[in-house]
Amino acid sequence: MRFFSKHIKVRKRDIPAGLWTKCKSCSAMVTQSALESNIMSCPECNYLYPLPAWKRLRTLFGEGEFFEIDSRMHPNDPLKFVDSMPYPLRQQSAEKRAGIPEAVVTGIGSLGGFAVACAAMDFTYMGGSMGSVVGEKITRLIELAIEKRIPLIIISASGGARMQEGALSLMQLVKTSAALARFNRKRLLYISVLTNPTTGGTTASFASLGDITIAEPGALICFAGPRVIKQTIQQDLPEGFQKSEFLLAHGMVDLIVGRKELKAKLIEILTLLETPKFTNETIRGVVAQNGGVNFGPGPLEA
């Protein structure tokens, strides 16, 4: 018996991609391609799966409409941090898994003709945690937006500050918030988009400082995670606690917008606030002028 079962057992990774998966939320059997074409949300129950940074950017920007900056920044290991695994090894496996060198992609793009500075965080890279690189890239993006006087859109997906960089990570909360203080005084528009999950130090800094805050449906948005709270208060948590709809009811976000509707909603807001319009060529020029940054087709056109 044992001999057979060993051979019959099908391992998860043996199922070819593009076939059926069981929805985490409603248990419906859906095909991988149906999931992908629905922007990583379940066609049956609309449960939102994590959306990697570049896939997110593709939902907002068309071919040749987004130009990445600061693409060559890598984390190092200032604390020589070792837990069950040295930090550099964690970085390597995260990069392999996420296909990008850190937990955020930043750049300038044309969103329906509006020039915007845009960041998309990537939960697949070490839980979207904010260390020195994420803090620096977000700060540079904010400073570039100030210089060019264009609106800022940050799409957050993050477990908070990155433990492996200790207090250096904690200080990124201040760095990004200080840059946003300057941005805010220039009377520029910042739209913060909170996706599943946005927690901890990310929520306690730039993610909560938008002029307008948009949440994805059903996203977990909080400071302390539900597990920590349950442990602390030793009680069951209220229904829907810390989900987007709960935050909307408690006055913590402006509106809830689905993945497919996000682009149109952003453009609607940019139009109402009469932010400047630019052609792709102008934007490309802006990126080129900004010495040292990578511009050009980028993975969107690849």
Partner 1 sequence: MNGGFDFEKPILELEAKIEGLKKLPESHAVDVSDEIKSLEVKLDLARKEIYSNLTPWQCVQIARHPQRPYTLDYIRLVMDSFVELAGDRLFANDPAIVAGLARMGARTLMVIGHQKGRDTRENLHRNFGSAHPEGYRKAHRLMKMAEKFRLPVVSFIDTPGAYPGVGAEERGQAEAIAYNLRTMAELETPIIVIIIGEGGSGGALGIAVGDEVMMLAHSYYSVISPEGCAAILWKDHSKAPEAASTLRIAPKELLALGIIDRIVPEPLGGAHRNYERAAREVKKALADSLDRLADIPMKELMEKRYTKYRRIGSFEEE
| Closer residue to partner 1, CB minimum distance, 26 or 174 | 174
- Size of the chain, expressed as the number of residues it contains: 302
| Biggest alpha carbon–alpha carbon distance for the chain | 73
By CB under 8 A, how many residues form the interface with partner 1?
Answer: 61
Residue partners of 204: CB distance under 8 A and separation at least 6: 160, 173, 223
Joined together, the tokens standing for residue 197 give: 């999950």
Instruction: Using the rule CB under 8 A, give the single segment among 114-122, 144-152, 174-182, 262-270 that binds partner 1.
Output: 174-182
Stretch that binds partner 1, among 16-24, 39-47, 80-88, 106-114 (CB under 8 A): 80-88
CA–CA gap between residue 124 and residue 133 (Å, rounded): 16
Residues 24-63 as x/- pattern, contact with partner 1 by CB under 8 A: ----------------------------------------
Output 79 or 273, the one with its CB closest to partner 1: 79
Provide the minimum distance between the beta carbon of 226 and partner 1 in the complex, in angstroms, as a whole number: 9
Looking at the Cβ atoms of 58 and 175, the one nearer to partner 1 is: 175
CA distance 12 to 132: 35
Contact call for residues 300 and 65 (beta carbons, < 8 A) = yes
Closest CA to 18 of 4, 6, 35, 43: 35
Stretch that binds partner 1, among 3-11, 53-61, 118-126, 218-226 (CB under 8 A): 218-226
| Contacting partner 1 within 220-239 (CB under 8 A) | 222-224, 228-229, 232-233, 237-238
Q: Check binding of 99 to partner 1 (CB under 8 A).
A: no
Please identify which residue in 82, 255, 264, 288 interacts with partner 1, judged by CB under 8 A: 82
Among 109, 151, 201, 298, binds partner 1 (CB under 8 A): 201
Q: Which of 144, 154, 180, 215: binder of partner 1 (CB under 8 A)?
A: 180
CA dihedral 64, 71, 150, 265 (to 10 degrees): 60
Quickly list DSSP for 204-256.
TTGGG--SEEEE-TT-BB-SS-HHHHHHHH-SPPPTTTTBHHHHHHTTS-SEE
The answer to whether residue 248 forms part of the interface with partner 1 (CB under 8 A) is: no
Q: Report which of 120, 106, 197 is spatially closest to residue 158, judged by C-alpha positions.
A: 197
Do 101 and 73 meet the contact criterion of CB atoms below 8 Å apart? yes
What is the token pair recorded at 147?
Answer: 């210089």
At closest approach, how far in Å is the CB of 57 from partner 1?
Answer: 22
Closer of 110 and 172 to partner 1 (Cβ) = 172
Place of tokens 């391609």: 33
Which of 41, 110, 169, 275 touches partner 1 by CB under 8 A? 169
Cβ atoms within 10 A of the Cβ of 24, count? 10
Interface positions with partner 1 (CB under 8 A): 70, 72-76, 78-79, 81-84, 132-133, 135-136, 139, 161-163, 165-175, 177-182, 184-185, 200-201, 203-209, 222-224, 228-229, 232-233, 237-238, 241-242, 250, 252
